[in-house]
Structure 1
């Protein structure tokens, strides 16, 4: 059951929810109020567009109270500041040796969870290491596995550089793979979904921008992803990542131990105006 309910005291019968429903299952009843026929409920995307678009907050679906949603008017960021955030975002490879505030940590994940997914599947899984001790434990496991691969001359072609990462760690205690970051986030999702890889990458993009807006540094970490997913797949089990999940990417994050002063200057965008 969708629990689709209309507050008839406030509903103006404007029809906005009907016009914007992606699956086109909402219609106006004989008395002019929105309704969903029982036989059409299975086609609902559960996107909540109807709840979001109602100007009077009269639509409830899935048992959700529209009064608990955030009102959008006046709440969007200044476009110029948002542009600066996007242009000023940098990959951070130096972190302070401290954990994030737990409340901030949870807020970053909660907000990133609002990222869009294909057909509103909403099955992106956030596998997180929420303390520097856990990241250190994972690093030790990964380094042990990499040492074994180096000794067995088993590093695949194109991944020989991991041997150098191991030697640098052993000789200098410099962590090239995880960058001594206090936290790690891995996005994964079932492989049988319509768009598993895009869903994972979009979620990480949302996470990154909100993190950097809160003074948290991030790094898209291909080295960690390849080590966990390709070189040492047993690490997936250590982290509890389901076998039927595709790993989208990995990201380390934490309070940065570096401060950037200005944006960089890229060349012009590659734009092709078709037709």
Structure 2
């Protein structure tokens, strides 16, 4: 149900909702905005109509515009966003204390606002918050890698994982970096853009985590381990069979502090196309 409701006392008939609807299913009648009956099924559930209405006159999908955050006066400056992006670092040293559940929930709910192909909203966030589970995941993953290494079944190009097992035996956790949490994103294989959806979701999560002073690390080692080396462990993550495991990310309180941005302007690979 689209539940498109217009408060005619607030509506100014400006027509912005009509102009901005990505699939053109809203029309402006004398009485106000209305859905075009034979096009309702095309709705992407993007909520653009709710967001663009200057007087908060439109409710859709049962959402009350009064529950939305007004944008005016609440957006960060360009300089603040730039510093956040330039100051982001891959953290490889984490404090052992777990992040509180309220903060993790806030991070995940915010990351769920990341754009997806055709607004399919199919990304699943599988998060390891429980510390006993995180410990078991570490141990089972390394056991799976060890088994593959000893049987000489490490995939081509991933033979170096044998050295990761040796480092584990010496007390060094190269894969999980002793982080208290792991986030795994997956998306429907049949969706229009599963890989892109997962990566964009993690980028969104990472920036929000950075703004809260948390550390993150894109974890290719864990992704390879759970998908290619020890899939029997990956099968226990609760990811739907219809989903593609896109990538994993470590996060937690950092045990390191960075004091300035790095300098990469000169490394920017920019191609100006002029026809």
Please give the TM-score of this superposition, normalised by the length of structure 2.
0.97
Answering whether residue 7 of structure 2 is matched by residue 4 of structure 1, we say no
Q: Which structure 1 residue ranges, 5 or more long, are not aligned? A: none
Post-superposition shift, 1:175?
Answer: 0.3
**In 2, distance between residues paired with 1:198 and 1:150?**
32
Alignment deviations for residues 204-233 of structure 1 (CA, whole Å, 9 cap, x no partner): 000000001101100000000000011111
**In 2, distance between residues paired with 1:65 and 1:117?**
23
Post-superposition shift, 1:32?
Answer: 4.4
| Residue 110 (structure 2) aligns with | 111
**In 2, distance between residues paired with 1:28 and 1:258?**
56
Q: Which structure 2 residue ranges, 5 or more long, are not aligned? A: none
**Superposition pairs for residues 69-218 of structure 1, below 5 Å?**
69-170=68-169, 172-218=170-216
Post-superposition shift, 1:161?
Answer: 1.0
Post-superposition shift, 1:194?
Answer: 0.5
| Residue 28 (structure 1) aligns with | 28
Matched position secondary structure for 1:253: strand
**In 2, distance between residues paired with 1:145 and 1:176?**
15
Return structure 1 stretches of 4+ with deviation > 3 angstroms: none
What is the RMSD computed on CA atoms of the aligned residues? 1.0
Alignment deviations for residues 36-89 of structure 1 (CA, whole Å, 9 cap, x no partner): 022211011110000000000001111111111110001100211111110010
Alignment deviations for residues 122-148 of structure 1 (CA, whole Å, 9 cap, x no partner): 010001100332221101101111111
**In 1, distance between residues paired with 2:143 and 2:117?**
38
Alignment deviations for residues 7-28 of structure 1 (CA, whole Å, 9 cap, x no partner): 0011000100001000001001
| Residue 239 (structure 1) aligns with | 237
**In 2, distance between residues paired with 1:138 and 1:116?**
30
Pick which of 97-106 and 264-273 moved more: 264-273
